[in-house]
Structure 1
Amino acid sequence: MRQQYDTSVPPAAFSVADAFMLRTALDSLGGVRGLDTLDVACGHGSTARLLASGGARRTVGVDSCPERIRRARAHETGEAGPVEYHVADAAGMPQLGPFDLATAVYLFNQAHDRVALHAMFRAVRANLRPGARLLAIVPNPGAFPHVDWSPYGIRIVERTPGGDAPLLRARLETDPPVAFECREWAHADFAEAAVDAGFATVAWQPTRTPPACEIRDETYWARYRSAPVSSLMNCVA
């Protein structure tokens, strides 16, 4: 899901909201200047570049897809500061740190079962210093079929119960549309996996949206906040 919308032009509304929510969370923590930072499931590198441009001492991006890593490296301009990129699966990520901050945008919903979900959280935790943070954007469960997210750039097509979490088939409302699949984990499942991995605290940040503009006014964002696509998970190691 992350990698598909990385290059969407213009950006889908839900990804604009995600970026704003993450930036405001980073700002509330005092920014990243001088920190060692890690972006897991970095896609084409948009969040990694955000961290580097914020003055991080070291920024590392990790993704399981060599082609996405190649494209992330191709986006490097030198203006944001250097970013190290590594090809690795999140559940089996090697020791690359330690880091003061990790970000993960639509990573954990890709876990196909509970074993993989817990392995992802453990791998991230193993790369963090004590007291470091994980900021993770995760989808909100329970929307389909009650809520229509298509005005915000994503449509859930089918929900199939089974396994440790239902399988969602969805598509990005781009031109042309892009189909993808993920698991509909409950927020309690994410929190359980985080605590099992050794995170001391888990909190959830209320949904925040960008200021109104000509394209998306306050009425539009108010509707979005009533049934947002995602939430921000804030974990302290």
Structure 2
Amino acid sequence: MGKLLKINNVGYTYHSLDGETLALKDISFHVNDGEFLAIVGPSGCGKSTLLSLIAGLITPDTGDILIDGKDLKSSGKNIGYMLQKDHLLEWRSTQKNLTLGLEIQNKLTDNSYICINEMLSTYGLITFRDSKPSSLSGGMRQRAALIRTLLLEPDILLLDEPFSALDYQTRIEVSDDIWGIIRNEHKTAILITHDISEAMTTKMLQFFRHFSPFSDFFIY
């Protein structure tokens, strides 16, 4: 597996009228193609900032973020970002929620519906295709949100504490579902979480290493 993502000495500082807040300093690591990584740490240590940098939503003050050896804008790679909340639109059916990203990018075709129905069937949501989100359990909503993200065919999938709103039992069940989907779709993925047990239950973590002498989080 080649190095798909490289983070080289990245730093970022938030600026406000009250002064500056250092969020990240000298962060370096890489992610191989097809690899899954979990970044664990308490609130406020810079986890979400790191994902925002990788997604290109903000630009690092120092260092480089490379995908296939190129900078984010010229790499031609898609980044999928699954947030803490599912953000399903309550007035749209499950299927219509899944097509939203494709509609925005003008990529919705007849073949898209074939793919959507296959994924709904594979991941246990086909009977809820025409249901509104209010009819879905928390776990079902998260599965729908992940499918919506995967339909955009991301090369790297970013997961920002996607189970934090679920109760403990549901979190365990849904995490197994989500990791199964990621494995089946052969996606490179990065998870951030404050829960070490959540990271450890993925069954895909192959190694453990301390992330940075500056930051309060770890990478698995």
TM-score range, shorter chain: 0.3 to 0.5
Greater RCO, CA 8 A, separation 6+: 2
Length-normalised TM-score, structure 1: 0.35
Give the number of the structure whose alpha-carbon radius of gyration is greater.
Answer: 2
Length-normalised TM-score, structure 2: 0.37
